[in-house]
Amino acid sequence: MTTATYTVAGMTCGHCVSSVKEEVGEVPGVTEVEVELDGGLVTVHSDTPVEPAQIKAAVEEAGYELVGSHPGD
């Protein structure tokens, strides 16, 4: 299992969190998504490493901006 954390700008409410969680959750290989409204942290769990570009595209599809990534283990 792989975990990576990303920072997303523009989320202001629970609906924002749901939108990001739903879009990122549809990326192939993603098994779980945790989104923290405070700080904009999105933690992505996957079976294998997921390309940050795929996460960026999903975040943008939800209407927000990926401003940082922190690859995990």
pLDDT bucket at 72, cuts 50 / 70 / 90: low
The structural domains of the chain, with segments of one domain joined by +, span 2-71
Residues 45-60: tens digit of each pLDDT: 999 999 999 999 999 9
Contact 6, 30 (CB under 8 A): no
Residues 9-66: tens digit of each pLDDT: 999 999 999 999 999 999 999 999 999 999 999 999 999 999 999 999 999 999 999 9
Query: In angstroms, rounded to a whole number, what is the distance separating the alpha carbons of residues 19 and 17?
Result: 6
Cβ-proximal residues to 51 (8 Å cutoff; 6+ apart), any chain: none
Specify the CATH class of 2-71 in words. Answer: alpha beta
The pTM of the full predicted model, rounded to 2 decimals, is: 0.91
pLDDT value at 73 more than 60: no
Q: Is 42 left (phi over 0), alpha (psi -120 to 50) or beta?
A: beta
| Coil/strand/helix, residue 13 | coil
